[in-house]
Structure 1
Amino acid sequence: MTTSSNAQTTAKRYFDLHTCGIGYLNRIREVRPKKGEPFLACSINAFTGPVTEPAYRYFDVRVSGAKAQDLVRSCKADVDAGRPVLIEFRIGDLWVSPYIATQGRNEGLPVAALKARLLAASLVGQSVLAGIEHYNLTTYGIGYLNRIRSLSSNEGDSLLTCTIASLNGPIDEPEYKYFNSTVLGDDVQGLVRSCSEAVNAKQSVLVSFRMSDMQATPYLRTKGDRVGELDASISSNLVHIGMIKIDGESIYPAKPLLEEATGEPIASQSTADDAHSDTPVLAESV
């Protein structure tokens, strides 16, 4: 009885923000900070878009999952030798870091890096690649809907955009990760528009979502106490909404997307030490 009570006390529940995709493994290294414990890090050049003409999104990640650490270390010799190593990956705790480039073609210019924890990874063989026509870089999560706007593109088309404040981390003290999203698809646009009145009235509009692609954009703040400070935003495409709650009332009931994919709720329970680290990457994510 005591053991059970202690386990319930020490267990924590989390809001997950996970991104899945395929990409090349690079820059495997042991980082030894001046403060804190050493850790394994690497970068991932992720694909997004059609196989014939993909775009690349670069992630600098800390390798957290135990099995992911074993795999990354086993690939170091190949990566150091310049041999391509392709992995399927799942990352979490995404954040963006703006800085001024000190070398390369962007020297002296503001740039932004996407950073995260690598939770799980597996090697991708040529047989898997042969069956892919489009590379998906997909993000799943739950968060609050804000700033719904209709805009006109340079081509004169109408665009529906919104901001999602995604919840990430412990349920009792989550962080917010902000995505400036273009809403794609008639069904998703209809759901977002149906929330406009509630958002404008400052009501709480909670949604589970799936986003495709993402990229970081640096900028200088032009107002507020931090005017002139370098910052960065993350843009994405909102392609699915699985649940809507307005002020706690279910408006559009459905299983959250991550629960549909894994059978576990987005706010999953785990110990603080091994939070989600060894869950296999989903085949459906690519």
Structure 2
Amino acid sequence: MTTQTSQKNYFNLHTTGIGYLNDIREVTPKTKKDGKYLSCRIAALTGDSEKPEYRYFDCNVNGEEAKKLIKRCEQAVNDDKKVLISFVLADLWTDMFKYSRDSDFHKKGDVGVSLKARLIRIKMIKIDGELKYQETKSAEQASGASAE
């Protein structure tokens, strides 16, 4: 007798980039069933390198390696050091919200949009220009094979 297992297939949407790490925090959801999770904000660089623009992503950090690396950066971020990371985001989505106070560009009650994603991989970390971490390629990555 043989048993047949069904393998699930997924479509992955991954975004890679480089940007500054900010606002590392542990979040307790309103519904306590899921428990706490690690979150951060990335100011991703885009456009001309002489005059870059920023795209801000609010990220849930997923995977033990990514969590460990983000936690290693927490003190530097809290000390207002420039923490530049090369990253991989997955499953981007948007979240609408209302501004709760006046700002330079928006008034209380205006609707805003936040870009959200799962931070799944860190490829490089620099703190104040000094390289602190560089991902090493595994044999699987070097051969071009992917488990994703």
- For Structure 1 versus Structure 2, the TM-score category normalised by the shorter chain is 0.7 to 0.9
Deviations 1:38-75 (A, max 9, x none): 11000100000111100100000100122110000011
- The residue that corresponds to 2:9 in the other structure is 13
Residue identity in the other structure for 2:122? A
Distance 1:15 1:51 in 2: 32
Aligned: 1:41 with 2:34: no
Residue identity in the other structure for 1:57? R
- The residue that corresponds to 2:82 in the other structure is 84
Structure-to-structure mapping, 1:104-183, within 5 angstroms:
104-105=103-104, 106-108=106-108, 109-125=110-126, 126=129
Deviations 1:10-38 (A, max 9, x none): x4221011111000111101111132221
SS at match of 1:13: coil
SS at match of 1:75: helix
Structure-to-structure mapping, 1:235-274, within 5 angstroms:
263-264=145-146
Gapped runs of 5+ residues in structure 1?
A: 129-261, 269-275, 277-286
Counterpart among 22, 34, 39 of residue 18 in structure 2: 22
- 4+ residue runs of structure 1 moved beyond 3 angstroms? 124-128
Distance 2:35 2:111 in 1: 30
Residue identity in the other structure for 1:114? L
Q: Which has the larger radius of gyration?
A: 1
Say how many residue pairs are matched.
129
Distance 2:83 2:130 in 1: 15
- The residue that corresponds to 1:154 in the other structure is none
Change (3 A) 1:77 1:43: same
Deviations 1:128-177 (A, max 9, x none): 9xxxxxxxxxxxxxxxxxxxxxxxxxxxxxxxxxxxxxxxxxxxxxxxxx
Under a length normalisation based on structure 1, what TM-score does the superposition of the two structures give?
0.41
Deviations 1:244-269 (A, max 9, x none): xxxxxxxxxxxxxxxxxx544xxx7x
Report the Cα offset of residue 127 of structure 1.
8.4
- The residue that corresponds to 1:208 in the other structure is none
Aligned: 1:56 with 2:57: no
Residue identity in the other structure for 2:46? T
Distance 2:98 2:74 in 1: 29
- What is the aligned-residue RMSD (CA, Å)? 2.3
Q: Calculate percent identity across the aligned residue pairs.
A: 39
Distance 1:22 1:91 in 2: 11
